[in-house]
Chain A
Amino acid sequence: MVVDIRDLKAGYGTKAVVSLASLQIETGEHTLLLGPSGCGKTTLLNVLSGIASTLAGRVVINGTALETLSVGDRDRFRGKHIGLVMQRLHLISALTISKNLRLAQQLAGVSVNDGIILGALEKLGLAAMLDRYPRELSQGEAQRVAIARAVINRPALILADEPTSALDDANCLAAIDLLFDQATAYGATLIVATHDQRIKARFERVVTLEPYL
């Protein structure tokens, strides 16, 4: 089991915005997190990645209970075990593509390995972009780089927050295909949060989050 949530209450300050009695996700599952805007999808992903802390309940990722980790340990844990893809791509504009990917390795505490970086980019048809800066890439290319970055450390869990909301239909499907391919290729579990109904059919499992009252 990759994700095990019980009796979770999470939010900001002392105000809870999500509550979840129980959620278990098995290794290799592709889960869609659906729900209206403001229902707490992003908040839940933040809890899973250890960015936001819980108000109550237990969150266990890959066998590690997050509440037992210090802030620094949680940062390191996230770097090592969780791959993140954001709605907007968030490559660091001051660094070239290869340096963006190296940074992900450095921050995860694994040794820099240009072979892995090149391999990941080659799979996505981006090998020629190694020394370019993010501004020299198209939107779609940059998104593929972000996906490559999410998988290079072989995370147990890939969390994607609205990865498709800015994309047209064709690109939307291409991005989801890619996420699935990569998750499968690297043996990762995938959770995608969205209110984009276009991609619903692709997931074997859909979790709908109810607004917290």
Chain B
Amino acid sequence: MKTLSTSLSLALAYLREKPLATILNILLLGLGVGTIIALALTLAQLEEGMDRDAAGIDLVIGAKGSPLQLILSTVFHIDIPTGNVPVSDAAAVIASPMVKQAIPLALGDSYKTFRIVGTNAAYVQLYGASVLSGRMWNAPQEAVIGAEVARVTGLVAGMTFTGSHGLTEGGSGHADHPYTVVGVLKPAGSVIDRVILTAIESVWQVHGHADAANSVSAVAEKLAKDHDHDHRQADKDEGKEVTAYLIQYATPLAAASFPRRVNAGSTLQAAAPALEVARLFNLLGVGIAALKVFALVMMLCAALGIFVGLTNALNERRADLALLRLLGASPAMVFLTVLTQGIALGVAGVILGLLIGHAGTEWIGATLEKTHRIALTGFTLIREEFWIAAGAFGLALLAGVFPAWRAYRSAVPVLLSRT
């Protein structure tokens, strides 16, 4: 025990004697560990968030274009939509017996960067959300807002606001069609926290479709229940458009044929969130791998720096090593003193790395929060971090073992004769 504390205080004194090298090694290790941890944290939360946001949605049907864009815009509310489709075009498709539920979405307007989503009550149920204060909408121009929207905008039930055209800030206003907030949702930890919900008829009304009262959402709900396709209803839908339908299959077998059939048509596109998310992570994969390699190289450089630093110090401190032995230190204690320097650098680097990783993630999260698209926090722990920390510490330890072994093996007369 005494030996340990003597070794430790000596090791720390040695590290303090070369502050530049010490700080550099800690910084390098910290940056490497921090980068990998920030990456892991971001990816884990992104994947978890996307899984949650896409849960229960088997397929999205919308306008033709990039399938990834369709998914991003309608499920995650990130990208701009591929366009709108006439309700009458989609009616036959969603009437298929393979479709258990089709939730209509009409996008196009936003309020303070939060998207106004015209839909029906099924959308709220899809995310298991419930009203915290106020009530659900039951007429056009009534809006229910997500928890994050309420927090950022300060809107509460009873207040009114006007949407602006387009999904980014600064679009022209719709001052003649104000919305009234009638309810605020409980935080659900998913994308529904960050949208403004209203009846789909509101969106049509704002964009000048007459006869909004006879709603496509009513049609869809009815269709979902009994698949009874009414041709007169289709006539009434003339001219109305939706951005997408979020589809839930009646049977898993639908996945094999249903999307292909939709895509074979001339106007509609079907895309599966699970496939597109997987594709997205594949696309990101190259960049992520490059960043990981970069961070690993940094960590290896740090380990190499520790190795070179300790080895150099060993040569410079031959006299000290000899002296330690002359004063009664055992070879094992000399070994410990050198190794402890590697350990101390490793511990400091890993701690710094954890701080950098979490602070970095929090910072990225704060930056992204301004766009209200992705929720990301640094105040969370994941299991990978343990392995990253252990790996970095192991590297530092390994970098210390060889110089320590050399110090252990050095015979005092030899050390003395060369000082």
Contact = CB atoms under 8 A, between A and B. Distances in A.
A78 B328 CA distance: 6
Contacts of A51: 325-326, 412-413
A108 B328 CA distance: 6
Contacts of B329: 75, 79, 107
B155 interface: no
Interface in A98-124: 99, 103-104, 106-109
SS of A interface (majority)? helix
A129 to B, nearest CB: 17
A51 B417 CA distance: 13
Given A12-B413, A51-B325, A75-B325, A103 B330 contact: no
Contact of A107 (B6, B9, B413, B416): B6
Nearest to B11: A94
A71 interface: yes
Interface in B1-57: 2, 6, 9-10, 13-14, 16-17
B17 A94 contact: yes
A103 to B, nearest CB: 7
B419 A88 contact: yes
Count chain A CB atoms within 10 A of each CB in B16, B328, B419 and give the residue with the most: B328
Give the interface residue-count category, chain A: 20 to 34
A84 B327 CA distance: 8
Interface residues of B, number: 26
A109 B328 contact: yes
Contacts of A104: 327-328
B17 A93 contact: yes
Contact of A88 (B10, B319, B333): B319
A93 B14 CA distance: 9
B320 A52 contact: no
A46 interface: yes
B343 interface: no
A9 interface: no
Interface in B308-339: 319-320, 322-333
Interface of B: 2, 6, 9-10, 13-14, 16-17, 319-320, 322-333, 412-413, 416, 419
10 contacts: A46-B416, A51-B413, A75-B330, A80-B328, A90-B322, A90-B323, A92-B320, A93-B320, A94-B17, A99-B9
Interface of A: 12, 42-43, 46, 49, 51-52, 71-72, 75-80, 84, 86, 88, 90, 92-95, 99, 103-104, 106-109, 149
